Structure 1
């Protein structure tokens, strides 16, 4: 039986360890473990499983990853639904990087996107503004989908509130590398997913898109002209 995730009040996940933060702008190091599984069906299965999670359960997965990368005091900012009001005003997770006098606030905006939904320059620029307004030293924009090729990634790393981007492929590689959502033999960690789903209170992407599709179908049917006899 899996031990419960060590979480604090308000959905905070307590730090399970410490270490230097990963330099996200450098190429990811792929071990033999990762190489094997990145060539298997595991990445696609994991990416699909992430899309099936309630949004706050997905955020918990990202929070676990940030802890593994060396971030401390990782906590949810308040948003729990895939689509809904964001009380924090533009970011989903808050964390601390460094320690003592050198510690700094980091905010993260998390996108639960499929492979057809891209992150664009405007979203990254808006997140930089959010970081400055909230007093954060830097920001992370993490998506389970692709990044637009038109994003000026070098410009986003300028000293004033740099924004680090993590694409869906990078996210899956990092999760596999740290064995979050997958087991040592490459299977999906359904025990972890089941626990997070049970604790979740937010809605899912499919809940919102399904409701939208049903509404559009209802509108279309009501507008079908009646045939004249």
Structure 2
């Protein structure tokens, strides 16, 4: 019988993603950039031209910057942003502003705005940073005041994500009657369907959320 060696059984990491596997929470100082440097000095770049290397760096840095936001690593983020276009997107079109809004990093959002980041770019799923802020920060954390602020700022409350899920779908999923009421008051369209063809009301009916279902039929809210 053939037995695989331990080395063969172990999953091999793609060297390109080593920085993402080595990082711990809240990496500080220059450790993050040192790991990035290890990746960029791999043999596959040995015979590349300076132009090729610069192009590779430009494509990789947005992903590394987003990872800094995941780790709440403000120091490394600032150093990486010095060498990249602040509005450049990763492979999904997510910019650092998308990720900061998605993670609810308020201080980072303020900093990014102060150095020229925009809230208007869409990722490949059609989502802007404002949409991610509404759905992932305001709705998911049941922050009514933040939702009020986004509404007053003119954010689109009807925008869906890559699955067609809107903020209203998310509010129903959280079983948050108050948030559903606010979204309907602010003009969110309850007829919007997700990729499975279900509206937020359909989701509430499926979950037997009678107190929320009532809200969909109150004329004062629609």
TM-score, normalised via structure 2 length: 0.24
Structure number with higher strand proportion: 1
Higher relative contact order (CA 8 A, sep 6+): 1
Structure ID, larger Rg: 2
TM-score, normalised via structure 1 length: 0.24
